Chain A
């Protein structure tokens, strides 16, 4: 699976959009981009994933560049409860067997008043 690069930490004011970048320049054509977050020391929580097209769900939007070498997770209206470590993960297409994910160190997002 391709390696990802994320900033170590970011700050965001409450109510503003939080834009978390991820670089995955070695991504293969059939690899997906997944985002998880870990609040405090809880278990990681799935946020969103995508292949080529931009994706949106109730939690966030995922913007993938046309060359797929980078992506941005957008939290449209960050709240204090969004303070967490955000992990960007690239993985091979899911084939119906085990979904092994490799977690890096992620981006620590601090949302402030």
Chain B
């Protein structure tokens, strides 16, 4: 049982390049989330998907797009990366048979934009 898996774990981009962060969960959860964490700060919600087929903006959605590909997978895309998007990105999921609203997080994807 892998839980929440994120790829890649590390990535360096040049300004203007695009990339997609992948996230998959094997817990049959309904909801999935993307957070970012800047140095010394708490996590901020970028986008979330309450259920398959739906996505909604979080606190800091500008510069990002998401796709809920199926129940398992939720991807985050940066169309034109900027240095301000240098951060650690965390994917999370919630919602199962014993759902208490608890979030399960992946190990993070560390992105540097030069």
Q: A residues bordering B, Cβ < 8 Å?
A: 36, 41-46, 49, 87, 91, 94, 96-106
In the complex, which residue of chain A has the Cβ closest to the Cβ of B32? A98
The 6 closest A-B pairs by CB, nearest first: A43-B105, A94-B101, A103-B42, A99-B101, A98-B50, A103-B43
Establish whether residues A42 and B95, one from each chain, have CB atoms under 8 Å apart when the complex forms: no
Establish whether residues A100 and B48, one from each chain, have CB atoms under 8 Å apart when the complex forms: yes
Establish whether residues A43 and B107, one from each chain, have CB atoms under 8 Å apart when the complex forms: yes
Q: Which residues of B contact A104 (CB under 8 A)?
A: 42
Q: Which residues of A contact B106 (CB under 8 A)?
A: 43
Number of contact residues on B: which range applies? 20 to 34
Total number of residue pairs linking A and B with CB closer than 8 Å: 63
Instruction: Tell me, yes or no, whether B100 is within 8 Å of chain A by CB.
Output: yes
Instruction: Tell me, yes or no, whether B13 is within 8 Å of chain A by CB.
Output: no
Shortest Cβ distance from residue B35 to the other chain A in the assembled complex, whole angstroms: 8
In the complex, which residue of chain A has the Cβ closest to the Cβ of B56? A98
Bound-state CA distance A105–B99 (Å) is: 26
Establish whether residues A87 and B42, one from each chain, have CB atoms under 8 Å apart when the complex forms: yes
The answer to whether residues A101 and B103 also contact, given A43-B4, A44-B43, A87-B42 and a CB cut-off of 8 A, is yes
Which residue, A99, A104, A105, has most C-beta atoms of chain B within 10 A? Answer: A99
Contact with A along B68-93 (1 / 0, CB 8 A): 00000000000000000000101010
Bound-state CA distance A41–B58 (Å) is: 22
Instruction: Tell me, yes or no, whether B25 is within 8 Å of chain A by CB.
Output: no
Q: Which residues of A contact B4 (CB under 8 A)?
A: 43
Establish whether residues A44 and B90, one from each chain, have CB atoms under 8 Å apart when the complex forms: yes
Q: Which residues of B contact A41 (CB under 8 A)?
A: 88, 108
Establish whether residues B95 and A99, one from each chain, have CB atoms under 8 Å apart when the complex forms: yes
